Structure 1
Amino acid sequence: MTTKSPNQVQLLTCGERRRLKYGAAPSVFDFKNTSTTQESDRAKRKRLRESTQDTCTPMIEDLPIYMDELIVHHEVVVDQSSTSISTSMPEEMCSTAEKEIQCDIPTLGRFSIEGMKLDTKMLSYYTGLNGYDHFMLLFNILGPAAFDLNYKCGLLSPQDQLFLTLMKLRQAKEDVELAMLFKVCESTVSKIVTTWINFLYFQLKELEEQFWPSKDIIKEHMPTDFAKKFPNTRVILDATEQPIHKPSNVEAQSKTWSSYKHKNTLKTMVGVTPNGAVSYVSSTYGGSVSDRQIIEHSTLLDVGKFDAGDSIMADRGILVQDLFANQNVFINTPTFVKGKSQLDPEEIV
């Protein structure tokens, strides 16, 4: 049996696995030589954590490593004059080195009307208003009651609550998205929207009579082509239906079921002037109510609403000629096909 030289690899059999005997294989790489080993980043961070228990001043040469620790403990500082935030050291680690490690991270932050003050385009996109001055005009019209509503949200100002509500109405955004944009919870968004819609209704309801323009104003702003063909038109009427969740009450299900939309809806009669301005909005009824029933209970039949000789343009389904006959108001509706495949030439003219 031959004897192996010291430089040869010796094997130690342990069970079924063969392993190198410790110290059997020489190496030119001395991993255990502490004199040439550099401190690892992980060990340096550990040393820094232990050292910060007694002092809050980090070594300047260790700042690149120290930044990793700050990512976990950073605080956000919002700059009102720009759309950015900066990360900085926590107060317990404050030092002169703080200025060396601050950085700017672009973000929109919390949505607010002040943040949109100079961005007229986005404010118009979210609310439909012409700008910040237009928004503040609406807010001031609502009066001081806006600061004393039954539901008060300490996180958002009354102006921001109105801004949130207008975004909900204009963009039909979900509560979860609004909660993310305004940094509040979904239940808060729901309460704000419900409170402000009711508040807007009662405050703006007083202006209902101002929405109905005089005949002279309508003629002044009537489109030229429209004036040539329908010069006496006072209002254009049509009904709109808003889908709703199916009510749990059986009677409410029946009253809100729309045979036209094949779902539960709320129905409202809306009127606009020939140039497109909304001039009339009726009360809201269940989807099963007919257009005629809405008009029968509306203020359109009030004496003095129309002048003799006025005409109402309406959809063919609004059959209310007899209701306005005593006021000498004509209902202008499209001609019915009456079961035929097409209209006669005389009817088209």
Structure 2
Amino acid sequence: MDQVMLKIIFLTLIKLRRHKTNFELSRLFSISEHSVTNIWITWLNFMSRKWRELDLWPSRDLVRFFSPLDFNLKFPSTRLLVDGTEMPVKKPKSPIAQQSTYSTCKNRNTVKVLVGCSPSGLVSYVSDSYGGSVSDRQIVERSNLTNLCDTGDSIMADKGFNVQDLFAPSDVTINIQTFFKKRNRMTGKTVLRDRKISSKRVHIERIIGLAKPFKILTVAINRT
């Protein structure tokens, strides 16, 4: 690989990780801002198209083989741990776009995706992105997640992932914490089960947290 190609790749990685301005990168690599823009757009599209060809969804046997022992003992059928995450976007000019991207949770305009990982920590599912106003259920309804899971699998998620009816035809179980109803006390068995789910589900939150140092995901981006 020649030096020019190495510099182009390095520029792209810096942009992804540190979200440097085009002006900074142009001074760092002694090229014009226009060249920085062309390199960034070209390589971003290239990586997007190539990475889409990768099959991130591992087989059930592979998931169980690499699952931690404690996971296999307590939740042996778990195929995926899933959670939603949001990235900020600049406020669109269109009122309709403003409404569709406004997140009541973040109190700002965002895009939202579902991210899933195997019990071993492998990121195996990333949904398409949607406006921040959509719910987890709406994303699942529009995704192919129900078709990816096999009969007898289970998915671990938080309380907001209330989609049992969508996965019931495929005989896929959704492991979420129990909804607490007023005046109803949870049994000790239920409390212990919820604690086990909570202790395991935190892994997907940590996986998503690993992406937060990439400033490009935390700085409001243009909707285009």
Shorter-chain TM-score tier: 0.7 to 0.9
- Which residue among 302, 320, 327 is the counterpart of 2:170? 327
Among candidates 91, 116, 138, match of residue 246 of structure 1: 91
Distance, in Å, in 2 between the alignment partners of 1:339 and 1:199 is 53
**Largest Rg, 1 or 2:** 1
**Amino-acid identity (%):** 47
User: Is 1:236 aligned with 2:81?
Assistant: yes
Q: Which residue of structure 2 aligns with residue 298 of structure 1?
A: 143
For structure 1, the residue ranges without an aligned partner over 5 or more in a row are 1-112, 115-156
Q: Within 2, Cα distance between the matches of 1:193 and 1:182?
A: 13
1:228: how far off? 1.5
Return the match for 1:164 from 11, 14, 33: 11
Which letter does structure 2 place at the counterpart of 1:165?
Answer: T
- Which residue identity does 1:206 align to in structure 2? E
Structure-2 separation of matches of 1:219 and 1:200: 30
Q: In structure 2, what is the equivalent of residue 227 of structure 1?
A: 72
User: Aligned equivalents of 1:176 and 1:225: distance in 2?
Assistant: 50
**Structure 2 length-normalised TM:** 0.77
**1:189 maps to which residue?**
36
Aligned twin of 1:153: none
Residue 53 of structure 2 aligns to a residue whose secondary structure is helix
Shift of 1:178: 2.7
Query: Amino acid of the residue matched to residue 201 of structure 1?
Result: S
- TM-superposed deviation, 1:272: 0.7
Aligned match for 1:270, one of 115, 119, 125: 115
- Report how far residue 344 of structure 1 moved: 5.0
Q: CA RMSD in A?
A: 2.3
Give 2:52's aligned residue.
Answer: 205
**Structure with more of its chain in helix, by fraction:** 2
* Corresponding position of 2:59: 214
Give the total of aligned pairs: 191
What SS class does the counterpart of residue 173 from structure 1 fall into? coil
**Letter in structure 1 aligned against 2:12:** T
Q: Deviations over 1:246-269 (max 9, x none)?
A: 111221111111111111001111
Q: Where has structure 1 moved over 6 Å in runs of 4 or more? A: none
Displacement of 1:158: 3.9
What secondary structure, in the 3-state scheme, does the structure 2 residue paired with 1:312 have? strand
SS at match of 2:109: strand
Gapped regions of structure 2 (runs ≥ 5): 193-224
Which residue number corresponds to residue 348 of structure 1? 191
Task: Between the two structures, name the one with larger relative contact order (CA 8 Å, sep ≥ 6).
Answer: 2
Cα drift, residue 187 of structure 1: 4.1
